[in-house]
Structure 1
Amino acid sequence: MSTILIAGGGIGGLATAVSLAERGHQIVVLERQAAFAELGAGIQIGPNGFGAMDRLGIGDEVRERAVYIDELRFMDGTTGQRVQSLRLDEDYRARFANPYAVVARADLYAPLLAAAQRSPLIELRSNSAVSGYQQDADGVTLLLADGSSVWGDLLVGADGIRSTIRRQLVGDGEPRVSGHTIYRSVIPMELVPEDLRWHAVTLWAGPKWHFVHYPIAGGTLLNLAATRDDSAEVAVAGQPAERSHVLGQFPDLGETARRLLELGADWRVWVLCDRDPISEWSDGRVVLLGDAAHPMLQYAAQGACMALEDAVLLGELLDCPAGESQYRLERFVEARRDRTARTTLVARELGTQLYHPAGAARVARNEMLSGLSVEELQDKVAWLHGFDAARVPDLTK
């Protein structure tokens, strides 16, 4: 089988390594950091994500670490009105064949890393920043920042939103700055008053802001994420933020939501970025995957799930003779193009039209959401949550 190079050792890169190694390929994963580790706090996993993880053989391990919340709850952030909720009960699980849950990012990453470390076909190399690639009829050479290089039959660029591989393959510059600033904090659940320990992903929507919180780490921590549409123009990633500054960004937050926000400590700030959808992200023996191909805002809670879906399908498609691999990369892009573009644009729409309106638009939104039945709510997410990542496209077309 082929030797496949993977630039990037995050969730998408490791998931791809596991998926491809299961088909007998020799894999080399190159990570620029000194260690393979996943930063960040909470992450939501829909049924489509669990389906993909089952295909990768880590579903049960992640389920053991997950918090199975009761509902996705939408609140009016200024009045405190409970507008709507999507129940994640037995009916929901029966329809979509898997649960919806929240985990700490490390609780997803650790099983992926362990699976990669167990495989004799996967080599993990840290301190291996990439600088570009060259390819010819015989293979692809991945160039490293230290002047060395690695050869393979194929290259997968899974190196994130500021992908070096994308810079060469697509050449579309820096990511799009969304104008939204997010403040994140994680606190021990023991510091949360009993009446605020909700077993739900709760979103408080306000004029040009929203605030999300949910339990992670087996319910021992509370993840807080407060977002402000402040027209920020410069990307920021993980800088400390003063508590007084964070609280000052949400002056019209209702009483209950403010009690939760005031619990936050050691805040960090990011300015969110994504990219416009593109139609092509393969070039001969090279293909992009996950955030390198289709980075999206977090508002649909699908970034990691999309990367997991990518990994599963790429593994399915590359279970083929070496001579077909470049054609299969093209079909991979064709198969993923519309779904990932739709998810990217829906995430943007959620962050502007659904979460942040004021005045009459806020009232209309609340009336629209509150009027939806359980079946109608499930219908609205069916295209997203009910997807089978291993569904191979018709290769005869």
Structure 2
Amino acid sequence: MTRPMRIAICGGGIGGLFLALVLKKYVGSKDLHVDLYEAGPTFTEIGAGITVWGRSRSVVNTLGLGEALEKRAVVPSMVFRKSDTQEPFEWHNLFVPNGTALPRTEMLKLLVDHLPPAETPFLTTHFSKRLSSYEQDAEGVTLHFADGSVAEADILIGADGVGSATRRKMYSDLAERARETDPEKAEALINFIPPSWTGTYAYRTLLDREKVIAKSPDNKILRGGTAWCGKNQHVITYPISPTIINVLFFQTIPDSMGRPLTGPTVSTASQEEVLELYKDWEEDIRVVAEMLRRVLYRRDLNPILTRPSQGCRGDVQVGNQPGPRFTAVC
């Protein structure tokens, strides 16, 4: 009797969990067994709000999760404003059918709640398993973890985040194979090993709607989703629940897109830093900046896609940036 194909998904974030649910629906335990490896001791998600648009929403609906998503999400429209001036104005109003917004933690919880139990014929979940490297041959893939343990799979799918060990090993191997026949291609592949920067900082926080009303009752942030636009800077605000507003201040550094991403991808930044960046913007944005306490900046990714498939056994694939840096997109 032919055994089920073994799929290893390294990364228990939103992407890895979605993939596990899709495989369960369309393949199932007769032909497939999934080992889901998460580096942390449990499923966790950093970040604030996330928007789910039409194509991703269709996946949610296909998985039978549409109603559950509706209970957790709000439906924002998006007004676009020219805001880096003392004479601001609106220039576009966008409403996209099926668009929803919710906290990232709620999206993760939605997916986790619909996973099969941690040990089933289809799925085995492993926590505190951080992939450090892998080896592959015609028989499959051998996974090596930071704790010294080893596992086997037929296909490895990397959903292991910014510092992806899957991507590092995959491009290292591709570069090594190309070195003798095409040194220029090998050098280009090496450049894909470290994550690269989009050239944009994102200062991110959440605001309590009632506190905004108390300080600035007519602030346009209260109306719904707004894109506050300026040169090399923009701000995105939208509700992710009836009481919480997601706030992202973006600063783009010209000509810096594609530079190697070094250091931590998330760290704290001061309120004064944001106030200085937006001191000449319209009043509503300056008021919002004054309300910030602790904010985060994230240096985003722009890596290249995947290794072309070379058949089923021993294949490795890794994801890329999930969406445009306009905002957090699913």
1:293 aligns with 2:293: no
1:245 aligns with 2:273: yes
1:199 Cα deviation after fit: 4.2
| 1:210 and 1:226 in contact (8 A); partners too | yes
Corresponding residue for residue 205 of structure 1: 229
1:74 Cα deviation after fit: 0.6
Change over 3 Å in CA distance of 1:114–1:125 after alignment to 2: same
Corresponding residue for residue 142 of structure 1: 143
| 2:11 and 2:39 in contact (8 A); partners too | yes
In the alignment, the residues of structure 2 paired with residue 127 and residue 236 of structure 1 have an alpha-carbon distance, to the nearest angstrom, of 20
More displaced 10-residue stretch of structure 1: 122-131 or 138-147 = 138-147
In the alignment, the residues of structure 1 paired with residue 10 and residue 310 of structure 2 have an alpha-carbon distance, to the nearest angstrom, of 15
1:85 aligns with 2:93: yes
Corresponding residue for residue 184 of structure 1: 204
Q: Which has the higher helix share?
A: 1
Alignment of 1:13-162 (within 5 A): 13-22=16-25, 23-24=27-28, 25-69=32-76, 71-77=77-83, 78=85, 79-88=87-96, 93=97, 99-118=98-117, 120=120, 121-162=122-163
Corresponding residue for residue 177 of structure 2: none
1:113 Cα deviation after fit: 1.0
In the alignment, the residues of structure 1 paired with residue 138 and residue 229 of structure 2 have an alpha-carbon distance, to the nearest angstrom, of 54
Give the AA of the match of 1:170.
Y
In the alignment, the residues of structure 2 paired with residue 86 and residue 238 of structure 1 have an alpha-carbon distance, to the nearest angstrom, of 30
1:54 Cα deviation after fit: 1.4
Q: Name which of 217, 223, 235 aligns with 2:246.
A: 223
Alignment of 1:240-389 (within 5 A): 240-275=268-303, 277-278=304-305, 280-282=307-309, 284=311, 285-289=314-318, 292-299=319-326, 301-302=328-329, 304=330
1:269 Cα deviation after fit: 1.7
In the alignment, the residues of structure 2 paired with residue 227 and residue 294 of structure 1 have an alpha-carbon distance, to the nearest angstrom, of 17
In the alignment, the residues of structure 1 paired with residue 305 and residue 116 of structure 2 have an alpha-carbon distance, to the nearest angstrom, of 33
3-state SS in 2 of match to 1:219: coil
3-state SS in 1 of match to 2:115: helix
In the alignment, the residues of structure 2 paired with residue 230 and residue 251 of structure 1 have an alpha-carbon distance, to the nearest angstrom, of 18
In the alignment, the residues of structure 2 paired with residue 227 and residue 150 of structure 1 have an alpha-carbon distance, to the nearest angstrom, of 41
1:236 Cα deviation after fit: 4.3
TM-score of the two chains, using structure 2 as the length reference:
0.80
In the alignment, the residues of structure 2 paired with residue 103 and residue 230 of structure 1 have an alpha-carbon distance, to the nearest angstrom, of 29
| 1:6 and 1:156 in contact (8 A); partners too | yes
TM-score of the two chains, using structure 1 as the length reference:
0.68
In the alignment, the residues of structure 2 paired with residue 272 and residue 101 of structure 1 have an alpha-carbon distance, to the nearest angstrom, of 22
In the alignment, the residues of structure 2 paired with residue 15 and residue 263 of structure 1 have an alpha-carbon distance, to the nearest angstrom, of 35
1:72 Cα deviation after fit: 1.4
Give the AA of the match of 2:205.
S
Cα RMSD over matched residues?
2.2
In the alignment, the residues of structure 2 paired with residue 213 and residue 57 of structure 1 have an alpha-carbon distance, to the nearest angstrom, of 29
| 1:75 and 1:204 in contact (8 A); partners too | yes
| 2:50 and 2:328 in contact (8 A); partners too | yes
Corresponding residue for residue 14 of structure 2: 11
Gaps of 5+ in 2: 173-191
In the alignment, the residues of structure 1 paired with residue 5 and residue 306 of structure 2 have an alpha-carbon distance, to the nearest angstrom, of 26
| 2:80 and 2:228 in contact (8 A); partners too | yes
More displaced 10-residue stretch of structure 1: 16-25 or 118-127 = 118-127
1:170 Cα deviation after fit: 2.2
In the alignment, the residues of structure 1 paired with residue 54 and residue 306 of structure 2 have an alpha-carbon distance, to the nearest angstrom, of 26
| 1:75 and 1:81 in contact (8 A); partners too | yes
Change over 3 Å in CA distance of 1:265–1:300 after alignment to 2: closer
More displaced 10-residue stretch of structure 1: 137-146 or 14-23 = 137-146
Identity %: 28
Gaps of 5+ in 1: 94-98, 305-397
Residues 20-48 of structure 1: CA distance to partner in whole angstroms, max 9, x if unpaired? 12312211111111211111100111111
How many residues of Structure 1 are paired with residues of Structure 2 in the alignment? Answer: 289
| 2:7 and 2:157 in contact (8 A); partners too | yes
| 1:5 and 1:152 in contact (8 A); partners too | yes
Change over 3 Å in CA distance of 1:157–1:239 after alignment to 2: same
